[in-house]
Amino acid sequence: MSFSFALLNLQQRDAVQTIHGPVLILAGAGTGKTRVITMRIANMVDQGISPENIVSVTFTNKAASEMRERITEILGKEKAKKLTLGTFHAFCMRLLRQHAEALGYKNNFTIYSQGEQISLVKKILARLLVKEENYDPSMALSRISKAKNAGESLGDPMQTVDGALQQLYTDELRAMNAMDFDDLLLNGVKLLEDHPEVREAVQGKLRYVMVDEFQDTNTLQMRLLRALVPPPHNICVVGDDDQSIYGWRGADITNINEYESFFPDPKIIKLEENYRSTTPILHTANSLIRNNVGRRDKSLWSRNAGQDPVRLVVTEDEKEEAALIADEMTDAQTKGEKWDDMAVLFRTNEQSRVLEGEFRKRKIPYRIIGARSFFDRREVKDILAYLTVLANPDDDVSLQRILNTPTRGIGAATAELAREHSIKKRTSVFAALKDPEFLENISQRLQVVINGFVETMESFRGQAHQPLQPLQPLAEKFIAEIRYMEYLEKQAKTPEDFETWKNGVKMLMQSLTGYDERAKGEGLQGFLDETSLNDDREEKEDITKKTGVCLITLHASKGLEFPYVWLPGMEEGILPHKRSIDENRKDEERRLFYVGITRAMRKLTISHCRYRVKWGQKQTCMASSFLQELDRQYVEEFDHAAYMNEDLDKDDATDFMAAMRRQLMSEA
DNA sequence: GGGGTGTCGATTTTT
DNA sequence: TCGACACCCC
Ligand SMILES: Nc1ncnc2c1ncn2[C@@H]1O[C@H](COP(=O)(O)OP(=O)(O)OP(=O)(O)O)[C@@H](O)[C@H]1O
């Protein structure tokens, strides 16, 4: 046997040894659910099941690669490599890359993430009507997404804006051979539900299914599982209803209840011992989550009494809060703790700015997890748009982004002409650019420019499709060819701007190099898939690998653990967030807080400010209403602002005494 | 068509 | 405070 049951308690062992039939593991935070999945996979392989027949779905790609790492340690690389591990979206994406044609797409479809979705919606809205004020594109998008998930329509396209928008959005995506994140699931489901030959092939291969973080699955994902798993229902799901924090994205806790109706008579396993946190931390977490109505109570305990109470600190403002955290970290580090073992968890990405500033100032090494901000940088978006068009020339949105970047004289008017022509001819915009009938109607000068652009694109498209072509050198050559760096230099208002952009390009090149070295033979398409699905494997190679304290949102922290945790900004309006209060979703915010608390292993510090600068304006902050729900048995409260003031007074006093002394001395 | 300036408005969370 | 976008001049 390649692993030891000694690492598991009785209930965990039960779960690990029940290989056939449905299994439902419902258990609180830190009870070893993820460990059970990992060990269960190892045990199955030990029992002679081939790793190719096992699929395990995780919530993030990061969680997937961590799981693969752990399994590699137990089973070795050869076997671990053969497992199917990833998110629902990644799973569907791979399926669709093979079978998209069955659904009328081409296999080189583009995956649209939020930025591209929004720019498409904006464009449709602008064209569609109207400048209806307060028609928020991202709100519209989330309505579309909800409707898609529920399989509904937003109303008659002739009657409502939403209806028209949804139809145009859907049609245009399809015309561009593009799918958004919901389409990946939707089309994955279609493939399995409506195409028996595909379904049977997949079912024949993936005979054992496991799902982590089941409480955050949505309707489409549940449908996918039903289509994927035939009787005798070899499906094991694990989850914790108290940690469901993605309701805003369509996650549906009722999936837990419905599980039993789709996969009858499951073995139900409860885990109650928490191996992660000390009693003070766990007790505090329990006292909070009890306030959610309609929740099923569960017991959760730890045999680790711990050394430290949970601390609840109030500071004057967000700068003082950041300084306090930095102080405490430095202190702990001096006493021998590792930076890697410390983390700050916050509600909104924006909160990390103050912390970053403070850490930089004090030279505390830090890493920011999850933030996609790198891919939102203009220089990165530009180059990715180029690469995207090379992979899928039908992608009009990406094409529009690059058509005049760098400036080459193809302005908005020409782009609109091309678009109109493409509609008339029912082709893509790129095809329109090549059409002699289109070129006829524009100036000589423009014809030359457009021909040049098309030629460059097609030449590089050919090269990118050479088998085993390394991407980084090709991209480098391409950037030189279109004179992109020269363009950036010209655009930059200050030399620093240019430096920053140059650096962005360089980092993108590094991730291409990383991809080339991993040589998976999936070419340009593979690279783009990884970036749009937020697969951070390549990041691991350079950015994240650096050690340092961890800055991360509460949402992204799910499933992780740290010996030292700080939860700053616990104020009404931040957690619970204002929008959530308005939309009556405080319960989910409470769960978010619960997730945050239960990430801590040994030491937890919760803090809030009296004032906070927002949009350059000092604002009074109220402590989060959740704080009064925390049982104080193990909580130590501390008014840091008052302490600082005292300190000031003390300084004043010493100064005063010194002045007195000086005066007395000089008089004497 | 390109580039500069000024005003207004906005911040939740992510596959 | 910062970025998106509208508007204006070259
Ligand atoms: N039987 C056990 N004995 C000792 N330690 C364990 C045992 N089971 C799990 N652990 C440890 O407890 C910690 C939490 O485990 P794990 O991450 O699997 O929990 P989880 O239930 O997935 O948590 P969460 O739902 O909060 O993400 C890990 O550090 C793990 O190594």
Question: What pLDDT is stored for residue A633 in this prediction?
Answer: 93
The Cα–Cα gap between A157 and A143 comes to 15
In angstroms, the CA of A496 and the C1' of C10 are apart by: 27
Report the alpha-carbon distance of residue A533 to residue A639 in Å, rounded.
43
Q: Is A651 a catalytic residue?
A: no
Residue A320 is a catalytic residue: no
Domain boundaries, chain A: 10-99+184-271, 111-176, 285-372+544-666, 375-534
Q: Best mutation site among A3, A11, A34 for ligand 1, i.e. most ligand atoms within 8 A of its Cβ?
A: A34
Q: Could you read off the pLDDT of A551-562 as tens digits, one per residue?
A: 999 999 999 999
Rounded CA-CA distance A538/A542 in Å is 7
Q: In the 8-state DSSP scheme, what is residue A242?
A: G
pTM: 0.89
Ligand 1 nearest-atom number relative to CA A212: 22
Contact between residue A373 and residue A90 where contact means Cβ atoms under 8 Å apart: no
Written as six digits, the tokens of A514 are: 């990383």
Q: Is the ipTM of this complex over 0.85?
A: yes
Residues contacting ligand 1 via CB (< 6 Å):
A 7-9, 12, 27, 29-35, 240, 243, 275-276, 559, 561, 598
Annotated binding site of A for ATP: 27-34
One-letter amino acid of A452: G
How many angstroms separate the CA atoms of A578 and A586, rounded?
A: 10
C-alpha distances in Å from residue A538, one per residue of A85, A390, A485, A523, A543:
17, 21, 24, 15, 9
DSSP state of A297: P
Domains A10-99+184-271 and A285-372+544-666 share a fold: yes
Superfamily covering domain A285-372+544-666? P-loop containing nucleotide triphosphate hydrolases (3.40.50.300)
The residue assigned the tokens 């594109």 is A137
pLDDT of residue A47: 92
Name the CATH superfamily housing domain A375-534.
Answer: PCRA; domain 4 (1.10.486.10)
d(CA A537, CA A535): 6
Active-site residue flag, A34: yes
pLDDT in tens, A646-665: 655 555 544 444 544 444 44
Residues A624/A574, Cβ–Cβ less than 8 Å: yes
Kindly give the pairing relationship between strand A635-639 and strand A310-315: parallel
Beta bridge partners of A227: none
Q: Are A593 and A352 in contact (CB under 8 A)?
A: no
pLDDT at A133: 57
Instruction: Report the C-alpha gap between A154 and A164 in whole angstroms.
Output: 8
**Order of strands across the sheet with A562-567?**
A366-368, A549-553, A342-346, A562-567, A600-609, A310-315, A635-639
Instruction: Report pLDDT for A375.
Output: 84
For chain A, list residues with pLDDT below 50.
538-544, 653-657, 659-668
- Looking at 1.10.3470, 3.40.630, 1.10.10, 3.40.1350, the CATH number of the domain A111-176 comes to 1.10.10
Label residues A364-385 b or e (16+ Cβ within 10 Å = b). bebbbbbeeeebebebbbbbbb
Contact A324, A313 (CB under 8 A): yes
Residue nearest to nucleotide B10 (CA to C1'): A615
Distance A393 CA to C5 C1' (A): 28
Tell me how far apart the alpha carbons of residues A630 and A666 are, in angstroms, rounded to a whole number: 57
Q: Does domain A10-99+184-271 have CATH number 3.40.50.300?
A: yes
Cβ atoms A560, A594 nearer than 8 A = no
Handedness of CA A193, A194, A196, A200 (dihedral sign): negative
Strands (E), A300-435: 310-315, 342-346, 366-368
Q: State, as a whole number of angstroms, the distance between the CA of A265 and the C1' of B9.
A: 55
C-alpha distances out from residue A238 to A261, A273, A406, A461, Å: 16, 15, 50, 44
| Cβ within 8 Å of residue A216, ≥6 positions away | A59, A239, A243, A244, A245, A246, A251
Q: A293 in helix, strand or coil?
A: coil
Q: Which two tokens stand for residue A626?
A: 């959740």
Say what the pLDDT of residue A667 is.
Answer: 42
